[in-house]
Chain A
Amino acid sequence: MIPINSLNARLWSKLGQRGTFGITMLDLGRDLDNLVVLTADLCSTSGLDRFRTTYPDKFLNVGIAEQNLLGISAGLAKEGYTVFATSFANFVAMRSYEQVRLNLGYMGFNIKLVGLGSGYAMGMFGNTHYGIEDVALMRAIPGLCIISPSDCTEVVKATEAAARYPGPIYLRLTGIVNNPIVNKEDYPFEIGNAITLKSGSDISIIATGSMVYHSIEAAKILESREISASVINMHTIKPLDTGAINTACVTSKLIVTVEEHSVIGGLGGSVAEYLCGISSAPRQLIIGMPDAFQMAGDYQYLLEQNGLTGPQIAEKIIDTFNTIVHS
């Protein structure tokens, strides 16, 4: 196990989620005899260069062939291997979607599919490389667990947990290098259990992935405006921690979901689907990417263009909260 402490958290933050994933796999390679890691020509991008040279027998590069990536992964998983497979989130979620549905969903093979650079992380690469819809697609597949770590420390925790988890997982990595730190010290991480990072009495902000940090920033602004908001890190998008949402329903006048994903079908959609079955549910505000393709730009530009920085999130929440209070 890799030690979790503030020093490592700062180091990993500089590397970003992809680099941190590679470090974690290097550690897991030592401990797991039946591990195989596959990539579709994105070894370096996955942070796996050291893993490849240290454990060549546990590494396979299948070339630029995402469908085959998933098929070979399934064959190996069927034979008892714990398989991690990596490529950009949009490629594995879309180019090989049917393979994911059949191999991870229908047949339930023990494959951890790692979606790299999701959301707007690919910046100037443009829309062909953005992970806008991957959660919506993956969430529709029965039996597939979806995890989106809030920061690099949580990438370590989630990757280790995924390796122990006896079933299929989609691990969604977001953000770029200098990934903001949410978790400075060690903490309990369990798949399916949301983490309340901050308590509040007016609003519950439920965030996932990169947006956890920005939601914390938003909550600070709200506090300065005398609006009390809790922040919940919903690192596991599926299965959804409905207990955490039940609590939010009791304590909050407004539930806000925040994600670096389309407002259609992601965390917001998942929470909305649950809330519609609760008669006394508070209003929900879904904050995410609009249902539109964007002009390309760097990561920070895209967050700002789409209103996904802390101050912008706070303003959206205040606007909606005011309408509730005044009504």
Chain B
Amino acid sequence: MTSYDLIIKNIEQMAHRMRKKALELALSAGNNGAHIGSGLSIIEITAVLYGGIMKVDPKNPHWEDRDRFILSKGHGTLGYYTALAEAGLISFDELSNFEKNGGFLPGQPVMNMDKGIEFSSGSLGHGLSLGVGVALAGKKRCQDYNVYVLMGDGECNEGAVWEAAMAAKHYKLSNLVAIIDANDMQSDGARDCIMAADYEAMWKGFGWNVAVIDGHNIQSLFDTLGATNRSEYPRVIIARTVKGKGVSFMEGNNEWHHNRLTRAQYDAAINELTP
């Protein structure tokens, strides 16, 4: 096995562990429920970022040259906290804080640099502007870091996303990477029924370098995110995903946008994931 194959295999295994851990956290949330569907749809994306792409140092989360990650779709915490744990930025024991009263890992992230959480998020449409500011700071100081902003496709309904998209191109932020979790669903149902938009054409129209890939294919994600940006403009990766990915009764079923997971459902889901 080549070292490349080994990296891909390791990330695949990491994503598998994350998906199981995400379901465990959703179960632990009890009647609070959790955003399960869109947490599961981003698992491969965050696994590739934290398992093979981003420069992060769990011993020094404040490292100035670290790559920055912004979870603009703040409800994706099941796919975020599990990646932070895999990366060593938070411990697996600390994951028990998920959706606990007064805990530091609520349903949507709270800025906590000691734990590698760059910004508070939750309200949609804010992350890309923050990313533009962080990327500008990196350019101004000639720092060698990239900024990754993960958004939902429903989130791209927000006008502020496009204000930021315009600015990122204008400022030639080649160090900025937007990733769209394109699961084609949003809170009220199918994206095309609620607000049909040709996002690929829109991002191209805004002057970004656009790639459309399978958002659950580790190899595609790794190759695309790892490729050097030879352009002076920012990149957007439209990652085609499935909401609720990995659990048959959740996939494409918007009842799992935010829902309570029972013990029986958890057992059934874990059963499907166990090789």
Contact = CB atoms under 8 A, between A and B. Distances in A.
B134 A70 contact: no
Interface stretch (B33-41, B49-57, B157-165, B180-188): B157-165
B167 A67 contact: no
Given A65-B167, A107-B111, A79 B133 contact: yes
B237 to A, nearest CB: 20
A63 B167 contact: yes
Contacts of B128: 71
A62 interface: yes
Contact of A75 (B111, B120, B129, B160): B129
A75 B123 contact: no
B131 A75 contact: yes
A57, A71, A107 interface centre (most CB from chain B within 10 Å)? A71
Interface residues of A, number: 25
B19 interface: no
A78 B163 contact: no
A16 B61 CA distance: 46
| Chief secondary structure at chain A's binding surface | helix
Contacts of B129: 67-68, 70-72, 74-75, 99
B130 A98 contact: no
B42 interface: no
A107 B119 CA distance: 8
Contacts of B141: 79
Contact of A78 (B123, B134, B166, B167): B134
Interface in A104-119: 106-107
Nearest to A57: B140
B275 to A, nearest CB: 41
A73 B119 CA distance: 13
B132 interface: yes
B133 A63 contact: no
B223 to A, nearest CB: 28
A60 interface: yes
Interface string A87-108: 0000000000011001100110
Interface of B: 111, 118-120, 123, 125-126, 128-138, 140-141, 159-160, 163-164, 166-167, 170
26 contacts: A62-B163, A65-B163, A67-B125, A68-B129, A68-B164, A70-B129, A71-B126, A71-B129, A71-B133, A71-B164, A74-B129, A74-B133, A75-B129, A75-B131, A75-B136, A76-B133, A76-B134, A76-B136, A78-B118, A78-B133, A79-B141, A80-B137, A81-B137, A98-B123, A102-B123, A107-B111
Interface of A: 57, 60, 62-63, 65, 67-68, 70-81, 98-99, 102-103, 106-107
